[in-house]
Chains A and B, each alone.
Chain A
């Protein structure tokens, strides 16, 4: 329970999709002129992330990872298909987006009318692919946590686009220097908001967080560990995952 809560807040505030890793910036900048459209796109992103991240987790766990094909029989245990993950993930996402669009159109025309135009845009939104790739890179240990990660990073993105859309609606009445109008000032405001969000960094890790430069070595360490004991049990995975969380 505690790890769910921890991941939830971490994905929304500390590793915010927009402010910490700059994912989905293209649609974030293009669709944030009005709050109402921003809400529509944000909701669609939460929805699609909640569907695709768990799905790609299953794909990663049972098809792509080193030794993931072991369930087919011992002779398949040596296969490592992880180089295919980009193409598999993006195919899943594109298909799911199409499928979601058809299902929503059929069963909830009202929702379709509000989300409709944004759904095709989402297939090429980097936040969606980024969600799956980070899920893989951080070795999320269980399906429940993967679902949690999808939803909470979606909420983080939703919050960000909602905030910038509200600010952009207000800033129309301010006297911004002409060359900065529109795009320029949006970049700078996003930068300032990002600095604000950095302060959430201390929320979970407290004083234990190592300085910037050392974070790479932690990741490498977990990867080395992964190579050493290839047949990792689920509990052990949870341990290495916690190490990444604590870095």
Chain B
């Protein structure tokens, strides 16, 4: 990448794998799990978070010398809340059905710990361009996990992707269903998301032993 120096591109690439906000830093789990039963909802949630984090990091980074440190949490919350209201109104206007599915979880982006965490840890101490990259990188890392969970939950739970059947018709018994395959209703219920995240963590830490925690 000619556009980005090595150090800058690490800001984007690190959170995608070895410093992933969900599986390593344990931030932003709350909204990650409840809306991942469908791939479409996961993708929209990921895009919303990328938007809020990118812009939010720019704003906080611009204001970093103006905000008194005592009230910085409230100042950060107001910035995020404003951006989330924008996202919420856009979703209500252009994707009403989807905004019903996401319901309160759009609002809960405000208290998504990734956003507050990156504001505190990065945007308050770094320049605008680097903060923007850091925000986008972490939000992408979050989005990747969300899409992976959404992919497996929708594929195994309903046999569809983006609402389009990919494994055949379960009622007419075509495709995979003709040889006795059944949808796993277990993947649809909320706790299954936790178990999928657990398995992702398992796979990731098996591949990279350095991440294993001391018990």
Question: B191 to A194, Cβ gap below 8 A?
Answer: yes
Question: B78 to A87, Cβ gap below 8 A?
Answer: yes
Nearest chain A CB to B181's CB is how many angstroms away?
Answer: 21
CB contact between A86 and one of B28, B34, B110 (< 8 Å): that residue: B110
Question: B100 to A90, Cβ gap below 8 A?
Answer: no
Question: B113 to A86, Cβ gap below 8 A?
Answer: no
Question: A187 to B201, Cβ gap below 8 A?
Answer: yes
Chain A residues within 8 Å of B27, by CB: 26
Whether a CB of chain A sits under 8 angstroms from the CB of B67 is no
Considering only residues 193-217 of chain A, those with a C-beta below 8 Å from chain B are: 193-195, 197-198, 212, 216
Query: A130-B104, A179-B202 given as contacts; is B215 within 8 A of A25 (CB)?
Result: no
CB contact between A182 and one of B101, B113, B213 (< 8 Å): that residue: B213
Whether a CB of chain B sits under 8 angstroms from the CB of A126 is yes
Query: A83-B89, A181-B212 given as contacts; is B113 within 8 A of A26 (CB)?
Result: yes
Tell me the nearest residue of chain A to B92, going by C-beta. A83
Chain B residues within 8 Å of A91, by CB: 74, 77-78, 81
Considering only residues 81-123 of chain B, those with a C-beta below 8 Å from chain A are: 81-82, 84-85, 88-89, 100-101, 103-104, 107-108, 110-113, 116
Question: A195 to B33, Cβ gap below 8 A?
Answer: no
Interface with B: A16-24, A148-156, A226-234, which one?
A16-24
Nearest chain A CB to B55's CB is how many angstroms away?
Answer: 16
Whether a CB of chain B sits under 8 angstroms from the CB of A29 is yes
Question: B74 to A126, Cβ gap below 8 A?
Answer: no
Chain B residues within 8 Å of A125, by CB: 111
Question: A181 to B110, Cβ gap below 8 A?
Answer: no
Nearest chain A CB to B157's CB is how many angstroms away?
Answer: 10
Chain B residues within 8 Å of A172, by CB: 215
Whether a CB of chain B sits under 8 angstroms from the CB of A133 is yes
Question: B213 to A26, Cβ gap below 8 A?
Answer: no
Interface with A: B11-19, B128-136, B192-200, which one?
B192-200
Chain B residues within 8 Å of A212, by CB: 188
Whether a CB of chain A sits under 8 angstroms from the CB of B29 is yes
Whether a CB of chain B sits under 8 angstroms from the CB of A184 is yes
Question: B190 to A20, Cβ gap below 8 A?
Answer: yes
Number of A residues contacting the other chain (C-beta, 8 Å)? Answer: 56
Nearest chain B CB to A31's CB is how many angstroms away?
Answer: 11
CB contact between A179 and one of B100, B107, B111, B212 (< 8 Å): that residue: B212
Query: A129-B111, A133-B108 given as contacts; is B198 within 8 A of A187 (CB)?
Result: yes
Considering only residues 68-97 of chain A, those with a C-beta below 8 Å from chain B are: 83-87, 89-91, 94-95
Question: B206 to A188, Cβ gap below 8 A?
Answer: no
Whether a CB of chain A sits under 8 angstroms from the CB of B176 is no
Question: A191 to B110, Cβ gap below 8 A?
Answer: no
Question: B205 to A137, Cβ gap below 8 A?
Answer: no
Considering only residues 14-59 of chain A, those with a C-beta below 8 Å from chain B are: 19-26, 29-30
Whether a CB of chain A sits under 8 angstroms from the CB of B61 is no
A183–B91 Cα distance when bound, in Å, is: 33
Whether a CB of chain B sits under 8 angstroms from the CB of A192 is yes
Query: A86-B84, A124-B116, A188-B198 given as contacts; is B191 within 8 A of A130 (CB)?
Result: no
19 contacts between A and B (CB under 8 A): A22-B30, A25-B33, A26-B26, A26-B29, A86-B85, A87-B82, A90-B77, A91-B74, A120-B73, A180-B202, A187-B198, A187-B201, A188-B195, A188-B198, A191-B191, A193-B191, A195-B191, A198-B191, A216-B100
Residues of B within 8 A of A (CB): 23, 26-34, 73-74, 77-78, 81-82, 84-85, 88-89, 100-101, 103-104, 107-108, 110-113, 116, 188-195, 197-199, 201-202, 204-206, 209, 212-215
Rank and list the top 10 A-B pairs by shortest CB-CB distance, nearest first: A194-B191, A191-B194, A182-B213, A179-B205, A187-B198, A25-B29, A188-B198, A191-B195, A133-B104, A184-B201
